[in-house]
Amino acid sequence: MVKSGRPVDLLSAGGFLFLRPPAQEGALLPVLSFMSAFNTGEFRIRIAFFTFDEEEEPAATGFRFESPEGEGEHNYYHMQCIRGFTKDGKFLPRAPSWLPISCPAFVICAKTPIALFLGVLVGLYGFHGLEQQWKGQSFGRTLQRDLTELKSNSGLR
């Protein structure tokens, strides 16, 4: 159980979730980490895609998905590129050094941290694939409202 006001922070703890590769991209291994302060609505997701390059060396690229950051430049749900899971110089293998990490910040059609997380999963597995995976699961019904709203916000009817 999460204590009220105490953030869940896999990013700082070095915790990662290894996700099932998308069916059509079997050579990519999605690895996710996140930080959430539930009492403030702050939510930060980092996801990297690991594979092997032409020389059979490990390589990765990734993205961060974040909730609004208060007054300022990124006060909306958004996505940006990353070169590493943290800013302390631990880079993803073979991530291009030229990759921009502060701009651009692409708008995401989420309205809640849960919708942001669902948007990441939809990006990996598609709406239909995600719904198929959750078919018959009780937690799927809990998330259905957010998923339906995400569909509507993205133009899907």
Residue 2's pLDDT is what?
Answer: 43
Here the tokens at position 125 are 């597995």
Residues 6+ apart with CB under 8 A from 113: 36, 41, 42, 43, 67
Q: Pairing relation of β-strands 78-82 and 58-66?
A: antiparallel
Q: Dihedrals φ, ψ of 67, to 5°?
A: -75, 170
Q: Is the dihedral of CA 8, 86, 78, 93 positive or negative?
A: negative
What's the pLDDT band for 30 if we cut at 50, 70, 90?
very high
- Give pTM, 2 decimals: 0.83
Here the tokens at position 75 are 């006060």
Provide the Cα torsion 95, 96, 100, 105; round to 10°.
-40
For the stretch 105-152, pLDDT in tens is: 888 888 888 889 999 998 898 888 888 888 777 776 778 888 888 888
More confident of the two residues 129 and 11: 129
Here the tokens at position 97 are 């050094």
| Segment 37-66 mean pLDDT | 88
Q: Pairing relation of β-strands 29-37 and 42-52?
A: antiparallel
Task: Go through the chain and tell me how many residues it has.
Answer: 157
Q: CA-to-CA distance for 88 and 125, rounded, in angstroms?
A: 31
Residue 1's pLDDT is what?
Answer: 36
Mean pLDDT, the chain, integer: 82
| Segment 89-101 mean pLDDT | 81
| Segment 55-71 mean pLDDT | 89
Residue 48's pLDDT is what?
Answer: 92
Q: Sketch the domain layout of the chain as residue ranges.
A: 1-108, 112-157
